[in-house]
Amino acid sequence: MKRIAIQTADFDVAAELAALEALGGGGVASFTGIVRGEEGGLIALELEHYPAMTQAQVDRIVEEALARWPLLGVSVIHRFGRLEPGARIVFVGTASRHRAAALESCAFLIDWMKSDAPFWKKEHFGDGATQWVEARAEDEAKAQGWRS
Amino acid sequence: MKRIAIQTADFDVAAELAALEALGGGGVASFTGIVRGEEGGLIALELEHYPAMTQAQVDRIVEEALARWPLLGVSVIHRFGRLEPGARIVFVGTASRHRAAALESCAFLIDWMKSDAPFWKKEHFGDGATQWVEARAEDEAKAQGWRS
Amino acid sequence: MAELTIVYFAWVREVIGRDEEQVERPAPDSSVADLIATLAARGGGYAQALEDPTRLRAAIDQRFAPLDTPIGDAREVALFPPVTGG
Amino acid sequence: MAELTIVYFAWVREVIGRDEEQVERPAPDSSVADLIATLAARGGGYAQALEDPTRLRAAIDQRFAPLDTPIGDAREVALFPPVTGG
């Protein structure tokens, strides 16, 4: 099972996990990223992406995960548009007969999504100020780690 | 948030994840273990545990995870009794502001649950045969790895 | 003199045919391995279940303990195969 | 002669004030960095957005590419800040 969705709408984590659990693998790992609420005065994140590139890029990295680990299923969902604190941004779910394969591939995919997927985030604050989020060096390093 | 449950009943993964997502951390990782369906003729797993020990042991390892990683919440559920193929056995969910903390602590806790929690599994087959599952050396090694 | 509770799990429980029993308290410096040897000497299911201590693990008062651990003033010793988790 | 499409994202898009444009195709051996320099020479928002190439990343035909990559016969070049994921 391979499912990739780049969408503005929220998603149903339970339904995604149920589909992965139904593959009979024995183990399902997941990671859900959520807009943090506590940053001073943040009222929304605006996510921009490169539509012509995103789907193909995510597909490529999912294929890489499928080649590296014995997976029965992968589900990757990434939202774009305006998201308020508490909203889900990204979901990665993996199913495998092997616990380590499910966990490691989930970490691999979310590290990639967080560092290499063509998304950009703009913060909107309560006082009307906006700011583009800077890429974090540690994210670039983390994705790099999987290549070594 | 710390939630530990050792129970016969199934659990609601969506509700567990929703509670973790509501902590405002930004990242929720989870692992769900399921009874595999494909082994030749397996009709049920029977899980036995050491009630006087299990809750205290799980509590201890959850406290260790809370000490090692900056977590906002941990949820660990383990079922016992008779479970059929496709049934959920175990759930670990972690919430953190830090993606790596959520992912690593989830892997740490499930490795421990799979190798050190006082549970024993008996396989029941369609022809009436039964067999106690042997501990796997690789599980013991995995849990050991977190200690080094 | 207080007795010692022994609890059995999984195939150890099945082969011995009971899940719990009270025994006369051994000397405080005797180990779990000594207890296993004493029980195995009863023969029958005990001998069958306990004859090979390398297949056994133990807990003393609900904490995992190597077989050479002295029982001391513990109240409960558990004998079981290596755990197999979830 | 075919034109080259350039697309901009995030603050590069905002500072330049457009999300896409067609330009005359540069020589095939000119690099993304050469293209950036040509665009920056227009001044205004272009100069402001593109003056420091170390802050920029690029994709050629929807694949990430280092700035010294020759554009060759590509159809689309994208210029943007380092991605920030989800």
pLDDT bracket for residue B104 (50, 70, 90): very high
- Is the pLDDT assigned to residue C39 strictly greater than 60? yes
Interface of A with D in 97-126 (CB under 8 A): 113-122
DSSP A57-115: HHHHHHHHHHHHS-EEEEEEEEE-EEE-TT-EEEEEEEEESSHHHHHHHHHHHHHHHHH
For B47-64, what is the mean pLDDT? Answer: 95
Which subunits count as partners of chain C given 3+ CB pairs below 8 Å? B
How confident is the model at residue B147, as a pLDDT?
A: 65
pLDDT bracket for residue C8 (50, 70, 90): very high
How confident is the model at residue A24, as a pLDDT?
A: 86
Q: What is the pLDDT of residues D23-73, one digit of tens each?
A: 999 998 999 999 999 999 999 999 999 999 999 999 999 999 999 999 999
How confident is the model at residue C54, as a pLDDT?
A: 95
Q: Which residues of C fall within a CB distance of 8 Å from B50?
A: 7, 9, 59, 62, 78, 80
The shortest CB-CB distance from A37 to any of B13, B24, B88 is to: B24
Q: Pick the residue with more confidence: B145 or D79? A: D79
pLDDT bracket for residue B139 (50, 70, 90): low
How confident is the model at residue B142, as a pLDDT?
A: 67
Q: pLDDT averaged over chain C?
A: 95
CB contact under 8 A, C83 and B33: no
| CA A40 and chain centroid, separation | 24
How confident is the model at residue B148, as a pLDDT?
A: 52
Q: Which residue of D has its CA nearest to A87?
A: D86
Residue C40 has a CB neighbour count (10 Å cut-off) of 17
Task: Count B/C contacts: CB-CB distance under 8 Å.
Answer: 68
CB contact under 8 A, C80 and B133: no
How confident is the model at residue C62, as a pLDDT?
A: 95
Q: Is A139 on the interface with D (CB under 8 A)?
A: yes
Q: Which residues of D fall within a CB distance of 8 Å from A121?
A: 84-85
Lowest-confidence region among B34-48, B77-91, B127-141, C61-75: B127-141
- How far away is chain B from the Cα of A142, in angstroms, using its nearest Cα? 10
- How far away is chain C from the Cα of B20, in angstroms, using its nearest Cα? 22
Q: Which residue of C has its CA nearest to B6?
A: C86
How confident is the model at residue A38, as a pLDDT?
A: 61
pLDDT bracket for residue C2 (50, 70, 90): confident
Helix or strand holding residue D39 (H, E): helix D32-40
CB contact under 8 A, B115 and C85: yes
CA distance C47 to C53: 11
ipTM: 0.87
Helix axis angle, B99-115 to B137-145, nearest 10°? 140
The residue count of chain B comes to 148
CB C25 within 8 A of CB C4: yes
Q: Which residues of C fall within a CB distance of 8 Å from B132?
A: 10-11, 81, 84
- Is the pLDDT assigned to residue B103 strictly greater than 90? yes
Q: Is B118 on the interface with A (CB under 8 A)?
A: no
pLDDT by residue for chain A (148 residues), tens digit each? 999 999 999 999 999 999 999 998 889 999 999 998 766 789 999 999 999 999 999 999 999 999 999 999 999 999 999 999 999 999 999 999 999 999 999 999 999 998 889 999 999 999 999 999 988 766 666 666 776 5
Q: Is B78 on the interface with C (CB under 8 A)?
A: yes
Q: Is B98 on the interface with A (CB under 8 A)?
A: no
How confident is the model at residue B22, as a pLDDT?
A: 93
Give all domains of chain A, ordered by start, each with its CATH number: 2-147 (3.90.1170.40)
Task: Count A/B contacts: CB-CB distance under 8 Å.
Answer: 95
First to last CA, chain A: 28
CB C63 within 8 A of CB B54: no
How confident is the model at residue B144, as a pLDDT?
A: 66
Both structure tokens of C51: 């004859």
Both structure tokens of B21: 């997502």
Q: pLDDT averaged over chain B?
A: 91
For B116-141, what is the mean pLDDT? Answer: 86
CB contact under 8 A, A26 and B13: no
CB contact under 8 A, C86 and B135: no
Residues facing residue B96 across a β-bridge: B27, B71
pLDDT bracket for residue B34 (50, 70, 90): very high
Both structure tokens of B56: 């205290």
How confident is the model at residue B143, as a pLDDT?
A: 65
CA distance D67 to B39: 53
Distances in Å between the alpha carbon of C41 and those of A99, C30, C60? Answer: 41, 16, 21
- How far away is chain A from the Cα of D26, in angstroms, using its nearest Cα? 23
- How far away is chain B from the Cα of A6, in angstroms, using its nearest Cα? 19
Q: Do chains C and B touch (3 or more CB pairs under 8 A)?
A: yes
Backbone φ, ψ for residue D64 (5° rounding): -55, 140
Q: Which residues of C fall within a CB distance of 8 Å from B78?
A: 86
For B123-134, what is the mean pLDDT? Answer: 92
Q: Which residues of B fall within a CB distance of 8 Å from A142?
A: 100
Of D84, D85, D82, which is closest to residue D12 (Cα–Cα)?
D82
How confident is the model at residue A4, as a pLDDT?
A: 97
Residue D18 has a CB neighbour count (10 Å cut-off) of 12
